């Protein structure tokens, strides 16, 4: 990261030369506003197009910003390099009862891989508890997300772990939903456990193309039934993996989820880490239209009903703009959260920087039961992932929105594009999400895309209102 004043004698009093801040104008596709962005700090301001010259050469915006710039740089530095491990993706089994087209877990593992016994899972959670007690402030409850393959195949072990450590961790379960019977739903909802379900469309003929059993049977009907049962439960969400086959139905999918009162969803473009996923990858440019149309649809539904369906991955991009430190998903920041903010534990206790790396032996950083977390965090594999920075990637190093995008994903770039120092698969989608977010901010509509109370405890760092017709220039 650039350090002001280290390399040159310039006082930094001019923008875009010497040690002065780099302020770049970005066309956001708004009829009236243009964005000004400092890519290094992620500071932004929206100014009337007709006022651009004035904003860059006078007025109070630049003066105020100069005073705050060092603080913004420090905040960005802390966010990018200073976070503590506080979440675990815990894979209690390698096996899965489904054979989804894009799964990142290699097929032999999903067919006949390892299962954790209840005693072994409890032992693992005990080790994690000990680590967190040592490294996190007292009273913090780190997150454990039971994750895929399919954790409900290990239901006894998972539930025993939740029973024993319910006061120590905030638990969540990411499941394909096919094994959630009434008893399991009752167990999880009565304890407030987060439930993430996977569903790839609003109709069986769409969703079942990618998510099916080993025999080829679809899962739509079963998962829709579970969604009906979860109606009214505030702590559930749906992941829709977006492929070439379902991308055009995204607006209908969000309507389907909103009708079922799902509080939040993720519209995740398929991660292309494994070759099977690349076969159904949507083209970056083709995905933008349906994706933004789905966001428009959530806004219309909110206006009509007063009820939000949060598209969490877009909301995270939006939050990264309005309040960088409040983001909660860690793919859109560089280095990403893998091996830094969270890590993944496999069914055998092997430690990987993120679930996305499970199955890539070169990225195994150690084992929970042998060297433990401390060793894994210092392993070459974890260091390599933590060392991937947008500044070292072309064209990300000169991209103004690099701290809203983060150039995900290292696993995908490594496997698909041959090196971690390359971008991942969906650059244009990120460019357009940021533009869309800034347009929504320009129109004062950003709250419709964010959870109620998302900004509790935040404070505004700069609120500038110096130009005619109240151009918005703020950073929280
Ligand atoms: S992937 Fe694209 S949008 Fe993201 S930082 Fe790189 S150039 Fe920018
Ligand atoms: S960018 Fe990839 S490796 Fe990093 S946290 Fe996201 S999925 Fe994991």
Q: What is the mean pLDDT of residues 83-92?
A: 92
Rg of the chain on CA atoms, in Å: 23
Q: Ligand 2 in contact with 408 (CB < 6 A)?
A: yes
Region 229-235: mean pLDDT is 96
Q: Contact 89/342 with Cβ under 8 angstroms?
A: yes
Give me ligand 1 centre to Cα 117, in Å: 43
Q: What is the pLDDT of residue 239?
A: 96
Q: Kindly identify the ligand whose nearest atom is closest to the C-alpha of 357.
A: 2
Closest-CA residue, ligand 2 atom 8, reads 354
Say yes or no to pLDDT of 474 above 50: no
Please tell me if the CB atom of residue 333 comes closer than 6 angstroms to any atom of ligand 2.
no
- Do the Cβ atoms of 403 and 390 come closer than 8 Å? yes
Higher pLDDT, 1 or 371: 371
DSSP for residue 454: T
**Paired strand residues for 144:** 88, 171
Whether residue 25 has a cis bond before it, omega within 30° of 0: no
Instruction: Tell which one of 392, 395, 397, 428 to mutate to probe ligand 1, the residue whose CB is within 8 A of the most ligand atoms.
Output: 395
Distance 153 CA to ligand 1 centre (A): 38
Q: Which ligand is nearest to the CA of 409?
A: 2
Q: What is the pLDDT of residue 457?
A: 61
pLDDT bin (cut points 50, 70, 90) of residue 476 is very low
Ligand nearest to the CA of 42: 1
Task: Output the ligand 1 site: residues, CB below 6 A.
Answer: 390, 395-396, 399, 401-402, 405, 407, 423, 427, 430-431
Pocket lining: 356 vs ligand 2, CB cutoff 6 Å: yes
Q: Return the ligand 2 atom nearest residue 336 CA.
A: 4
Q: Measured between alpha carbons, how far is 271 from 413 in angstroms, rounded to an integer? A: 10
pLDDT score of 399 more than 80: yes
3-state secondary structure of 243: coil
Indicate the DSSP class of residue 329: -
Q: What is the pLDDT of residues 341-390, one digit of tens each?
A: 999 999 999 999 999 998 889 999 999 999 999 999 999 999 999 999 99
Task: Kindly report, residue by residue over 306-317, the tens digit of the pLDDT.
Answer: 999 999 999 999
**Mean pLDDT of the 312-336 span:** 92
- With a CB cutoff of 8 Å and minimum separation 6, the contacts of 48 are 32, 33, 34, 467, 468, 469, 471
Centre of ligand 2 to C-alpha 343, Å, is 10
Q: Closest-lying ligand to the alpha carbon of 332? A: 2
Model confidence, pTM: 0.93
Residue with tokens 């933004």: 292
* Ligand 2 pocket test target in 86, 105, 239, 338 with most atoms within 8 Å of CB: 338
Per-chain mean pLDDT for the chain: 91
Ligand nearest to the CA of 288: 1
338 in ligand 2 pocket by Cβ < 6 Å?
A: yes
Q: Is residue 470 pLDDT above 60, yes or no? A: no
Q: Minimum-distance ligand to the CA of 434?
A: 1
Across the strands, what pairs with 197?
175, 238
Q: Which of 271, 329, 330 to mutate to test the pocket of ligand 2 (most atoms within 8 A of CB)?
A: 330
DSSP state of 76: H
* Residues 6+ positions from 128 with CB-CB distance below 8 Å: 88, 142, 144, 169, 345, 368, 373
Ligand 1 atom index nearest CA of 426: 1
CA 251 to chain centre: 20
Give one DSSP letter per residue of 148-187, joined into a string: SS-GGGGHHHHHHHHHHHTTT-EEEEEE-STT--HHHHHH
Nearest CA to 379 out of 360, 357, 352 is that of 352
CA distances from 137 to 253, 376, 458 (A): 41, 21, 21
The residue contributing the CA closest to ligand 1 atom 7 is 396
Q: Is the CB of 409 under 6 A from ligand 2?
A: yes
394 burial (CB, 10 Å; 0-12 / 13-18 / 19+) is exposed
Give me the pLDDT at residue 264, please: 97
pLDDT of residue 1: 42
Residue 330 Cα, ligand 2 centroid: separation in angstroms? 7
Q: What is the pLDDT of residues 164-218, one digit of tens each?
A: 999 999 999 999 999 999 999 999 999 999 999 999 999 999 999 999 999 889 9
What number does the ligand 1 atom closest to the CA of 430 have? 3
Atom of ligand 2 nearest to the CA of 330: 5
CA of 355 to the centre of ligand 2 (A): 8
Q: Dump pLDDT digits (tens) for 94-153.
A: 999 998 888 877 788 888 888 999 999 999 999 999 999 999 999 899 999 999 789 999
Residue 467's pLDDT band, with cuts at 50, 70 and 90, is: very low
Q: Return d(Cα 422, Cα 445) in angstroms, integer.
A: 34
**Would the pLDDT of 67 be above 90?**
no
Rounded CA separation 425/273 (Å): 10
First vs last Cα of the chain: how many Å apart? 22
C-beta of 336 in contact with ligand 2 (< 6 A): yes
Q: Give the residue with greater pLDDT, 59 vs 329.
A: 329
Q: Closest Cα to residue 424, out of 261, 272, 208, 250?
A: 272
Residue 458: predicted pLDDT: 60
Q: Is the dihedral of CA 362, 363, 368, 374 positive or negative?
A: positive
Contact between 389 and 335 (Cβ < 8 Å) = yes
CA 412 to ligand 2 center in whole angstroms = 8
Q: Above 70 in pLDDT, residue 466? A: no
Q: Are 200 and 176 in contact (CB under 8 A)?
A: no
Do strands 350-352 and 342-345 pair parallel, antiparallel, or not at all (unpaired)?
A: antiparallel
Compute the average pLDDT of residues 437-456: 92
Structure token digits, residue 169? 């961790």
Choose between 65 and 398: higher pLDDT: 398
Q: Predicted confidence band at 411 (pLDDT cuts at 50, 70, 90)?
A: very high
Percent of the chain with pLDDT over 90: 78
Mean pLDDT for the stretch of residues 392-421 = 94
Hey, which bits of 306-378 come out as E strands?
Answer: 310-311, 342-345, 350-352, 366-367
User: Is the pLDDT assigned to residue 465 strictly greater than 60?
Assistant: no
């Amino acid at each position: 990261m650039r350090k002001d004043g280290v390399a040159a004698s310039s006082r930094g009093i001019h923008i875009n030369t010497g040690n002065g801040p780099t302020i770049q104008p970005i066309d956001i596709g708004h009829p009236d506003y243009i964005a000004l962005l400092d890519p290094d700090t992620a500071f932004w301001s929206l100014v009337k197009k007709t006022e651009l010259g004035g904003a860059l050469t006078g007025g109070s915006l630049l003066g105020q910003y100069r005073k705050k710039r060092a603080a913004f740089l420090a905040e960005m530095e802390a966010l990018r390099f200073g976070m503590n491990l506080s979440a675990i993706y815990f894979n209690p089994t390698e096996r899965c009862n489904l054979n989804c087209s894009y799964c990142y877990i290699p097929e032999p593992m999903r067919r006949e891989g390892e299962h954790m016994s209840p005693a072994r899972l409890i032992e693992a959670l005990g080790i994690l508890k000990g680590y967190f007690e040592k490294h996190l402030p007292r009273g913090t409850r780190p997150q454990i997300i039971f994750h895929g393959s399919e954790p409900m195949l290990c239901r006894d072990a998972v539930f025993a772990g939740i029973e024993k450590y319910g006061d120590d961790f905030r638990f969540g379960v990411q499941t394909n939903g096919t094994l959630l019977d009434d008893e399991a739903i009752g167990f999880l909802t009565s304890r407030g456990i987060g439930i993430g379900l996977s569903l790839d469309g609003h109709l069986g003929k769409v969703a079942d193309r990618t998510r099916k059993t080993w025999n080829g049977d679809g899962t739509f009907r079963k998962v829709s039934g579970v969604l009906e049962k979860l109606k009214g439960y505030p702590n559930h969400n749906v992941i829709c993996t977006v492929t070439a086959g379902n991308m055009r139905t995204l607006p209908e999918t969000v309507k389907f989820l909103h009708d079922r009162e799902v509080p939040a969803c993720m519209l995740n473009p398929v991660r292309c880490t494994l070759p099977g996923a690349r076969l159904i990858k949507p083209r970056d440019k083709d995905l933008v239209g349906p994706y933004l149309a789905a966001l428009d649809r959530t806004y219309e539904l909110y206006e009509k009903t007063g009820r939000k369906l949060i598209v969490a991955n877009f909301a995270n991009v939006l939050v990264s703009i309005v309040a960088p430190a409040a983001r909660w998903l860690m793919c859109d920041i560089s280095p990403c959260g893998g091996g830094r903010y969270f890590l993944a534990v496999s069914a055998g206790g092997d430690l990987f920087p993120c679930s996305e790396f499970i199955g890539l032996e070169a990225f195994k950083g150690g084992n929970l039961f042998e060297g433990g977390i401390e060793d894994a965090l210092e392993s070459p594999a974890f260091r390599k992932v933590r060392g991937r920075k947008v500044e070292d990637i072309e064209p990300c190093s000169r991209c103004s929105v690099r701290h809203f995008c983060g150039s995900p994903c290292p696993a995908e770039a490594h496997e698909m594009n041959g090196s971690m120092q390359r971008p991942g698969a969906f650059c244009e989608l990120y460019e357009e999400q940021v533009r869309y977010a800034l347009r929504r901010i320009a129109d004062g509509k950003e709250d419709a895309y964010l959870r109620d109370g998302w900004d509790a405890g935040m404070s505004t760092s700069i609120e500038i209102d110096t130009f005619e017709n109240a151009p918005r220039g703020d950073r929280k």
